[in-house]
Amino acid sequence: LVKLLSRGEGIRTLLWTFIKSFQALPYVALLIVMLFFIYAVIGMQVFGKIALNDTTEINRNNNFQTFPQAVLLLFRCATGEAWQDIMLACMPGKKCAPESEPSNSTEGETPCGSSFAVFYFISFYMLCAFLIINLFVAVIMDNFDYLTRDWSILGPHHLDEFKRIWAEYDPEAKGRIKHLDVVTLLRRIQPPLGFGKLCPHRVACKRLVSMNMPLNSDGTVMFNATLFALVRTALRIKTE
């Protein structure tokens, strides 16, 4: 496995994309937890009194009477398994659970269910199917696109960004910085001129070596030489 990863550049890119995506996935997971919590509480308040009936979708395994059961039922709806039948089982006219009816009423006299079930289940399914799930895909695709994008357009604002960040490493404006700071500098500069913060350190070092940047005897690199090397690499200009 180690040999395979060391030889396959594409596999390393995919693996790094997966690892970098983990940094954003907790925020997506938190959004999902909040969505399930809100809908579970609402479901308990609106549909928690419906009587259990093994012939319908509201039974002892699927109901809103307790919070854990409500979350499990919502998880089933999120997968798309018979969520329409669950919605119909929560419509008006259903019998109420005996323990939820008033003591002075006869069993089954008070109807349960609500027309709110239509909006409730459709909105939940739409959020899960077209928003939440796609967020996971979007996070992974964004990181993969960042690492594999073909940056080929340079503008004046890219040069301004390079000068601004270079000045932080060269406060005395000598026109040169230590070669050890170049990798950090280029990872702070966004593509196409720099590498960007999402670029792995190992990949950044490899790209820097391939640029064949001139190095002074005192271990420093010049401003003009660095900028020319970056522009040449971004525009894919071949030199002898």
Q: Is 77 exposed, middle or buried (0-12, 13-18, 19+ CB in 10 A)?
A: buried
pLDDT band at 3 (very low <50, low <70, confident <90, very high): low
pLDDT in tens, 118-131: 999 999 999 988 87
Tally of domains in the chain: 2
pLDDT in tens, 152-199: 566 777 788 889 999 999 998 889 999 889 889 988 988 878 888 878
DSSP code, position 203: H
Do 128 and 216 sit in the same domain of this protein? no
pTM: predicted TM-score of the whole model, two decimal places:
0.57
Do 13 and 125 sit in the same domain of this protein? yes
> What's the CATH code of the domain at 218?
1.10.238.10
Do 107 and 188 sit in the same domain of this protein? no
Task: Kindly state whether residue 240 falls inside one of the protein's structural domains.
Answer: no
Do 138 and 162 sit in the same domain of this protein? no
Do 64 and 173 sit in the same domain of this protein? no
Say what the pLDDT of residue 138 is: 76
Do 11 and 105 sit in the same domain of this protein? yes
DSSP code, position 59: S
Do 106 and 38 sit in the same domain of this protein? yes
> What's the CATH code of the domain at 68?
1.10.287.70
State which residues form the domain around 72.
Answer: 1-148
Do 53 and 162 sit in the same domain of this protein? no
Do 20 and 128 sit in the same domain of this protein? yes
Do 114 and 166 sit in the same domain of this protein? no
Do 95 and 170 sit in the same domain of this protein? no
Domain end position, chosen among 91, 113, 148: 148
Say what the pLDDT of residue 240 is: 43
Domain end position, chosen among 116, 148, 180: 148
Phi, psi of 96 (to 5 degrees): -95, 155
Do 104 and 13 sit in the same domain of this protein? yes
Task: Kindly state whether residue 60 falls inside one of the protein's structural domains.
Answer: yes
101 and 109 Cβ atoms separated by less than 8 Å:
yes
Say what the pLDDT of residue 116 is: 92
Residues 120 and 126: their CA atoms lie apart, in Å, by 10
Domain end position, chosen among 148, 170, 200: 148
92 and 111 Cβ atoms separated by less than 8 Å:
yes
